[in-house]
């Protein structure tokens, strides 16, 4: 296997920095699902079905929010469009662990609506930073980083929930997601 094209791309400082930030930025979102599930089951002492409802609420929020957030990036520009996401990430996930179940479901929808659109931001940035003949390689590198994130994130969520507490873990998720949004700006 020839890694020269990957090495060539990673030698570009801005591309390397973006890919590292993207990988780190995705970890909180990858951890959030398992952390919320454990929060509902362990901390709120509800069923896995109730936890599934919270997961569905986030998914619905994301499904409704992603097209709108993408349009905001097109209309307002990246930085101005991400400001509401950064604020919402901190606000929602810092308050969510202290809410009762019904309000947690509402917070999950709002959190999904305003989730930092990491994937689309990174892909757009790579499309601008990388010449057309290297974009496929850049997207492949980004996909590899995303896969690593999907291995690390849920494990990090479980570690937070079982060694510290789900409440602290959710606050950490909110702060980390907001910091990721700031770094992507």
Residue ranges covered by each domain of the chain: 14-144+165-184
pLDDT tens, per residue, the chain with 185 residues: 568 888 888 888 899 999 999 988 899 989 998 999 999 999 999 999 999 999 999 999 999 998 888 888 888 888 898 899 889 988 998 899 999 999 999 999 999 999 888 888 898 889 999 999 899 999 999 999 999 999 999 999 999 999 999 999 999 988 888 888 888 87
Among the residues of the chain, which ranges form H helices? Answer: 4-10, 13-38, 48-76, 78-95, 101-113, 118-129, 135-159, 166-184
How far apart (Å, rounded) are the C-alpha atoms in residues 166 and 47?
A: 16
**CATH class, range 14-144+165-184:** mainly alpha
For residues 185 and 78, is the Cβ–Cβ distance under 8 A? Answer: yes
112 and 100 in contact (C-beta within 8 Å)? no
Q: Tell me the whole-structure pTM to 2 decimals.
A: 0.86
Task: Collect all residues with Cβ–Cβ distance below 8 Å to 167 and sequence separation of at least 6.
Answer: 39, 43, 97, 98
């Amino acid at each position: 296997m020839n890694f020269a094209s990957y090495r060539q791309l990673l030698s570009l400082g801005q591309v390397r920095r973006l890919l590292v930030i993207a990988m780190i930025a995705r970890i909180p979102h990858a951890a959030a699902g398992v952390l919320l599930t454990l929060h509902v089951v362990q901390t709120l002492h509800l069923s896995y079905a109730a936890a599934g409802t919270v997961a569905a609420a986030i998914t619905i929020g994301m499904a409704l929010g992603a097209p709108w957030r993408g349009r905001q990036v097109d209309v307002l520009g990246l930085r101005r469009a991400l400001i509401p996401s950064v604020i919402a990430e901190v606000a929602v996930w810092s308050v969510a662990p202290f809410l009762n179940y019904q309000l947690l479901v509402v917070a999950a929808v709002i959190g999904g609506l305003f989730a930092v659109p990491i994937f689309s931001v990174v892909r757009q940035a790579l499309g601008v930073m990388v010449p057309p003949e290297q974009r496929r390689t850049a997207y492949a590198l980004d996909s590899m980083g995303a896969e690593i994130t999907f291995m690390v994130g849920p494990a990090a969520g479980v570690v937070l929930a079982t060694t510290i507490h789900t409440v602290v873990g959710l606050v950490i998720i909110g702060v980390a997601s907001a910091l990721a949004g700031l770094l992507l700006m």
